[in-house]
Amino acid sequence: MSQTNQMTGAEALVEMLRIHGVEHIFGLCGDTTLPWYDALYRMEHGITHLLTRDERHAAYMADAYARIRNQVGVCEGPSGGGATYIAPGVVEANESSVPILALTSDVSVSSRGRYPLTELDQVGLFTPLAKHTASLDNAARLPANLRAAFRAATTGRTGAVHLGLPIDTQRSPVAQDEVWGDKRYGYFPAERPVPADESIEAAAKALLETKRAVIVCGGGPVLSGAEAALVAVAERLNLPVATSVSGQGVIAETHPLAVGVVGSNGGVAATRAVVEEADLVFFVGCRAGSVTSERWTVPLPTVRVVHLDIDAEVIGANYATEVALVGDARAGLEGLLAALNDSAVSADHDGANRARRAWQKKLADFVPLAESTETPIKPERVIATLAGVLNKDAIICADPGTPCPYFSAHYRMPSTGRRFITNRAHGALGFSLGASIGAQVAEPNTQVVAVMGDGSFAMAVGELETLVRYGLPVTVVVFSNATFGWIRAGQRHGFSERFYNVDFSRSDCAAIAQAFGLDAWRVEDANELEGALRSAVASDKPALVDIVSQPLDLAQAPVSEWIA
């Protein structure tokens, strides 16, 4: 403490994080962060700081940590380049409604406009990227600004918040009696607004009078912890439940009413048919964006729509809405269930049969490919093998490109909750390795797997050292095909195979991983795949399996525009 009843801004920041329940911080050091780091070193706070190899992955770690713990994930970086590096992770979390707090230190307030090294308008940078941003220019207001940031992150449509921390603020005095907070706002959702009674009654009436309705869930009900309420509503009406990629986990995909993922990324003809044939679509915590609706063609614009979302602006943005339910997903579904149970009329939407037929058709197409021993190894073989190796509660972090559509379509999630994490908002490559670290820190006794292409591997390889340094037993699976496969597939199917600047040299990812200290295997023969994956998952240290796999443009990927 600097003097009686006072703290420095850096000390006050540490204490405010502790008050809000923060247990882990992911980040990278810098000159302008030194007073705060010194406070972390000196004070007793119970917070573990994990040093990352760059700020982008610090944000990805905080993102996955938040998704698993339902707690604000905290990441940090220094001024200048640190702020620009952390930005991709902030916008991904914000667009995915994941509450993270990004702290970036900054040059002193008094030096602004005098061309100090790393000067940057941080508020200007983060305004379009985050739900809330502020620069902590006044140390006396630092506690109030922290309270506001946590409230913003965890209420309404949850999301990412950013605070800039000038170095002189870190050194300036803060009155101790201002350093207080409400721990509830360190977790989400902190508040649960309930839809209006008349809207709930109208939604129940609409669902009861239809015969072939379907529920389409986005990420909202998973963020809200609405899994039990969602399943209860579906079972009450025998409604099939489809999800977006972000919505996976709201219902176990082995449940008789589960259809699986729909949309252009992970959806297939059999799942699409369930939505196309519906006489009403009940969107739950889903934006009905371009991917889930296959560019607003499935369902058709003429279908009846009931829409539940905490963000009123989402409702009616893409489909004319018969009934709008503005509120928290769990609160809304619980209210709807009560209204349905009070009704003397019952509806049977034949959901179990519709879901069963969709899975039968999907599996009929998938199994022959999953059993193939051809080389290069087919992605379907990798998915099927992993499904037989991993525990029921394993967490899978997937990059865009090859992993996302295949895992979304064919890895049949056996439990509810956030067990599948991917960055579907902006789709930056290199996400899954950082995310897997955050997930493993959040649940240290759970199997965690990071799956990526070799393009993503090259963008994230430095964090292998982080895995080894902290002894995190993450299993990394690399689909090695020496190309940016998603773009190559687009060039094949949409541009008459005019491949331009999309292929790169094949790297021995296993050898690279071994150099970092991981256990590693390189697999070219499908018959050796299961043994390598079992050994990697059983290892008590970080492990990597490098699989020479079929390029995405030659595979039968569940991506509608290529299939068409």
Cα distance between residue 65 and residue 163, in whole Å: 19
Q: pLDDT band for 175, please (50, 70, 90 cuts).
A: very high
Q: Report pLDDT digits (tens) over 483-507.
A: 999 999 999 999 999 999 999 999 9
Query: What topology is assigned to 197-354 in CATH?
Result: Rossmann fold (3.40.50)
Tokens representing 531 are: 């043994």
The stretch 410-434 carries a mean pLDDT of 95
The stretch 307-316 carries a mean pLDDT of 97
Domain 371-563 carries which CATH code? 3.40.50.970
Q: pLDDT band for 564, please (50, 70, 90 cuts).
A: low
The stretch 241-251 carries a mean pLDDT of 97
Confirm if 253 and 389 have CB atoms less than 8 A apart: no
Q: What are phi and psi of 146, to 5 degrees?
A: -65, -45
Q: Which percentage of the chain shows pLDDT scores above 70?
A: 99
Helices H, strands E: what count in the chain? 22, 20
| pLDDT score of 127 more than 90 | yes
The stretch 407-426 carries a mean pLDDT of 95
Q: What is the pLDDT of residue 394?
A: 98
Q: pLDDT band for 562, please (50, 70, 90 cuts).
A: confident
Cα distance between residue 542 and residue 536, in whole Å: 8
Q: Report pLDDT digits (tens) over 262-271.
A: 999 999 999 9
Q: pLDDT band for 561, please (50, 70, 90 cuts).
A: confident
Tokens representing 135 are: 């620069």
Nearest one of 273, 221, 275 to 248, comparing CA atoms: 221
The stretch 456-471 carries a mean pLDDT of 98
Provide CB contacts within 8 A for 21, sequence distance 6+. Answer: 71, 183, 186, 187
Cα distance between residue 261 and residue 279, in whole Å: 19
The stretch 413-425 carries a mean pLDDT of 95
| pLDDT score of 1 more than 50 | no
The stretch 469-487 carries a mean pLDDT of 96
The stretch 464-469 carries a mean pLDDT of 98
Asked if domains 197-354 and 371-563 share a fold, the reply is yes
Q: pLDDT band for 169, please (50, 70, 90 cuts).
A: very high
| pLDDT score of 347 more than 90 | no
SS3 486: helix
Q: What is the pLDDT of residue 349?
A: 85
The stretch 440-459 carries a mean pLDDT of 98
| pLDDT score of 114 more than 50 | yes
Q: What is the pLDDT of residue 345?
A: 73
Q: What is the pLDDT of residue 4?
A: 63
| pLDDT score of 298 more than 70 | yes
Cα distance between residue 221 and residue 416, in whole Å: 11
When the candidates are 1.10.3470.10, 3.40.50.970, 3.40.50.2300, 3.40.50.1970, the CATH number that belongs to 6-186 is: 3.40.50.970
| pLDDT score of 2 more than 70 | no
Tokens representing 404 are: 């996302």
Tokens representing 175 are: 């009155």
CA distances from 80 to 16, 77, 86, 101, 186 (A): 25, 9, 10, 18, 27
CA distances from 166 to 42, 186, 316, 445, 526 (A): 20, 23, 42, 38, 54
Confirm if 263 and 290 have CB atoms less than 8 A apart: no
Q: Which percentage of the chain shows pLDDT scores above 90?
A: 96
Q: What is the pLDDT of residue 48?
A: 98
Domain chopping of the chain, boundaries: 6-186, 197-354, 371-563
| pLDDT score of 144 more than 70 | yes
Q: What is the pLDDT of residue 360?
A: 96
Tokens representing 304 are: 């009846």
Cα distance between residue 99 and residue 155, in whole Å: 9
